[in-house]
Structure 1
């Protein structure tokens, strides 16, 4: 077809075809125009970390790709509609301050920038007594937008809590023990100062702050006291005093309360507070005194006799603090104390050896006045003894008995005894942990630890000894002595027999008259 065309015509056809192909290809590619990259608007121009920001602008390239950067961090990318960009992103984590938002044409690499300010919005809320404006601690504050719950916090010791919120209208509701006690509506608006927008709201509440202090009659604080507040409200408020004997709490206003105080589960005081609109009697402190009772302790020995001149010490049960220490009198074995209502440990000591020997340890609840309490020392006034016998069960007299008493973790020698003719030796009348060592003829034969708790005879059987004529001999010695005696006896009998035989022979050989 083209063979008959002149050369000039062929060149013209090729050129036209090239132009058509170029036009077709360029129509299929994004078109870069002379329109500059531009950010038309950033909404909002300031906000907090996490807020949604909308960027409206245009790029050079029709239907071209773009990216949005926040402070050099890519936060979004997409494709333009024609040359228009309308997109959103979330503000990344940054300190408060001014930052650049960059719209980047990925085809032409051209950019446009706009400024965005990262701010912080802090809303402070304080809960107060509606009547005397005193701050209220430990109150829960919930934040709502209309009826939608947003967040919550709890007030500190000065009644404050704070929230990070956006601009807008909010409802702040104060709750205590899950009951609504106050609310306020507030708008978070205003100018930003130093990248900060702060608003403060005060919530007047139907609550009063009260402090309850529990002390003994001497004014000493009492910890671990259980205090219950009951009222017409369905829930009883339960508390425990701290190490300084204090409870600091809130209570509903316009409500009468009954305060019951217990120590170790026993009630010792009931206080009524009527119509708690203000703090009690214009004060913020309710003082409760735990009473002092008379305690009489009687100490009896193992035979139910009064135990005289022993030390009785009373310890406060929880703190181990000494509440009193006295010696029993010589008539009734008794002693008297004045102690605060509560629980105590009673320890009875014997001190005659220069060490404190615990005769008994017990507990009591002092909940009556007066209170009489008997302590039985089962290890006092005992009649124990040691008996030392030989292999055949015969008593060994003059055996040495060493008696050691355990004080704390150490044994101390308290007596050196000698057995009588019946093999016995009397032990001390105070029981407890002992270590008894027995010597026969100066040789240690047995050492035995023992706990003395009754009037019995402790027998030591020394199998290596036998008693002969009241004198102890080792069995080996006895065998030796017996063998030697038998040998001597046999030898003597042999000699006597020999002499007798000679005499008989002489008599037989002598001439007859």
Structure 2
């Protein structure tokens, strides 16, 4: 009994398991895992960027990334994918667990990351162009991140002067507590140290852990503009009564030199930057009668000027490339030569002062004695040049409202330069009118001589000369395209004129189109624009002929022979044996439309006079609604009685002047054949089996 009970229980358990598998939804879940950590070394410093790539189980689910016990990312997955970045939090150095948590499924994946110590040293410096001067105090800030917990680090700060002298001092940093961060600051010069030398000082933290630099100068600024006041401060001259201050250009030219008294070992001087100083670097040097310092007191300063954007523009206000400009600096009595770039812009550093401008285009003067000032800021200067633009329009001589597109134009112009000792120059530019019949060309000299040569299809139709353009934004030039007379005569295959035929002329380029109808003599006359055309002839909307025609001469004559017009068309209808079928109704159709009909005569022929081309021939015999034969044929030549179009109707036979179905005719013939065969058999039988006569 017990054994039976156990077996029943096992069977029930298996059945329940199978049933659960069947009714449970099948889910292909992604594994919660970290597949990649960047940097791949798994090491970094506080505030470094770390990237974690992985997957979670919940599609589009919420996930979190924990750095140790700190939550650093709380986002939603893209599908099952995780790709997140974060900054290393401010924690003590060491190995931390990196955890990716699927919040919905409450499943975690882990990795690791090590925080390394980071050392920082920073010197407080004034904002450029201000600079520190001799005798100044300098604040030095030191910090560590990723340090050990509850630790006081000691920093050894070393300063190396321009004379390679070194001064050091130790300073304890603040306790790192539980953040691993310690800070401190110190003022340089330390005891017995100084900032008496001009040059760059290097500051280091414990040798090589971190470093920074600062510059000590003679002047209060690193750069000056004209009329600025330079303030000089130098120390360490207690043994001197006076010193010499010298300012030179980078080429060694002496700009200024004078003696200044020393008070309590300090040289305090000022100098007004001269109006004639040009842009560049200069040196200032302090020298004494005896050697006072291990490093010469020499410093470089700059006169940078202001960024000035110059835009030469034509009279239409458009920037002009390749304009050569002479900028004369009145204060420095110096001239700068510049040229506008392909965008029509010049960028030049110019100092405070007054300037004169002369501009040349193609070495012809287009601006003369224009003045401007530079004061205390960068600016954009727009200069108007005596250059006009051309708006060229080609119109029909027959109707000025019709504009001619795609006209090829060669513009020749001649001028004399103001530079290069007045040379005569000839130049050419080629272009084409657009779809509206206009062509716009930019920036041309007012006093040049111009000649326009206009052509279509390689044939010149107009040459126009002009000069002394108006000093305005646009000079409008109109070119007339002449008309040409075309005589068209339309005849048929036999040379007879075709009356009321539609003659169409369509120009190869553009949209020019002309139409006319022929008179009773087959003539049509056109007055068209100079050019090449496609000539087409129609009758009853049927294309009879086409050809190209050139209208370059004053008068052109064309004779168009239309071989398809009024063609003799004969249709012969025959039966199964090729016998003509009379009284058959023949219809001709074009594009599904009936155009004519006729009845065949005794010879089985129906004749027509029609326009050729692709025609459908239908033959009606007994049923006027249902054709017995249909054929489509292209007719490009006459088909008269000697060469008719043959339509064979195999379903009928002419027998005894009667139209008979071929099947019926075959039955009759078969019956007749059987009758004849029977008769022959009977005759033969009687001949061979005739009884012999009995003798009496």
TM range (shorter): 0.5 to 0.7
TM-aligned CA distance change 1:496 to 1:230, over 3 Å: same
Aligned 8 A contact 1:57 1:84 in 2: no
Q: Cα deviations across residues 67-118 of structure 1 (Å, max 9, x unaligned)?
A: xxxxxxxxxxx9736974259xxxxxxxxxxxxxxxxxxxxxxxxxxxxxxx
Q: Which residue of 2 aligns with 1:344?
A: 533
Is 1:209 aligned to residue 389 of structure 2?
yes
How far, CA to CA, are the matches of 1:348 and 1:40 in structure 2? Answer: 90
How far, CA to CA, are the matches of 2:120 and 2:552 in structure 1? Answer: 97
How far, CA to CA, are the matches of 2:632 and 2:504 in structure 1? Answer: 29
Within-5 A mapping of 1:4-403? 37-43=123-129, 59-60=140-141, 62-63=157-158, 80=203, 84-86=213-215, 123-128=309-314, 134-135=315-316, 137=318, 139-141=320-322, 152-154=341-343, 161=344, 179=362, 189-192=374-377, 197-202=378-383, 204=385, 207-217=387-397, 218-220=399-401, 221-232=403-414, 233=425, 235-249=427-441, 250-273=443-466, 276-279=467-470, 284-325=475-516, 327-330=517-520, 332-351=521-540, 356-403=541-588
How far, CA to CA, are the matches of 2:661 and 2:360 in structure 1? Answer: 92
SS of the residue aligned with 2:667?
helix
Q: Specify every segment of 5 or more residues in structure 2 that has no aligned partner in the other structure, as ranges.
A: 1-118, 132-136, 143-156, 160-200, 205-210, 217-305, 328-334, 415-424
Which one is further off, 366-375 or 443-452? 443-452
Aligned 8 A contact 2:573 2:646 in 1: yes
Aligned 8 A contact 1:405 1:433 in 2: yes
Aligned 8 A contact 1:166 1:188 in 2: no
Q: CA deviation at 1:334?
A: 0.6
TM-aligned CA distance change 1:500 to 1:265, over 3 Å: same
SS of the residue aligned with 1:486?
helix
Q: Cα deviations across residues 188-234 of structure 1 (Å, max 9, x unaligned)?
A: 95434xxxx422141635x4422222111321222211111124555
Q: CA deviation at 1:277?
A: 4.2
How far, CA to CA, are the matches of 1:173 and 1:466 in structure 2? Answer: 105
How far, CA to CA, are the matches of 1:487 and 1:395 in structure 2? Answer: 29
How far, CA to CA, are the matches of 2:658 and 2:120 in structure 1? Answer: 133
Q: CA deviation at 1:431?
A: 0.8
SS of the residue aligned with 2:671?
helix
Aligned 8 A contact 2:392 2:439 in 1: yes
Q: Which residue of 2 aligns with 1:438?
A: 619
How far, CA to CA, are the matches of 1:491 and 1:141 in structure 2? Answer: 116
Within-5 A mapping of 1:463-482? 463-482=650-669
Whose helix fraction is larger, Structure 1's or Structure 2's? 1
How far, CA to CA, are the matches of 1:222 and 1:418 in structure 2? Answer: 55
Higher relative contact order by CA 8 Å / sep ≥ 6: 1 or 2? 1
How far, CA to CA, are the matches of 1:315 and 1:32 in structure 2? Answer: 83
How far, CA to CA, are the matches of 2:471 and 2:683 in structure 1? Answer: 121
Aligned 8 A contact 2:484 2:527 in 1: yes
Q: CA deviation at 1:175?
A: 8.7
Is 1:452 aligned to residue 538 of structure 2?
no
The count of aligned residue pairs is: 392
Aligned 8 A contact 1:359 1:377 in 2: yes
TM-score w.r.t. length of structure 2: 0.48
Q: CA deviation at 1:381?
A: 2.7
Q: CA RMSD in A?
A: 4.5
Within-5 A mapping of 1:479-494? 479-489=666-676
Aligned 8 A contact 2:406 2:510 in 1: no
How far, CA to CA, are the matches of 2:620 and 2:351 in structure 1? Answer: 98
Q: Specify every segment of 5 or more residues in structure 1 that has no aligned partner in the other structure, as ranges.
A: 1-30, 46-55, 65-77, 88-119, 129-133, 155-160
TM-aligned CA distance change 1:181 to 1:470, over 3 Å: farther
Aligned 8 A contact 1:168 1:188 in 2: no
How far, CA to CA, are the matches of 1:282 and 1:342 in structure 2? Answer: 33
Which one is further off, 456-465 or 304-313? 456-465
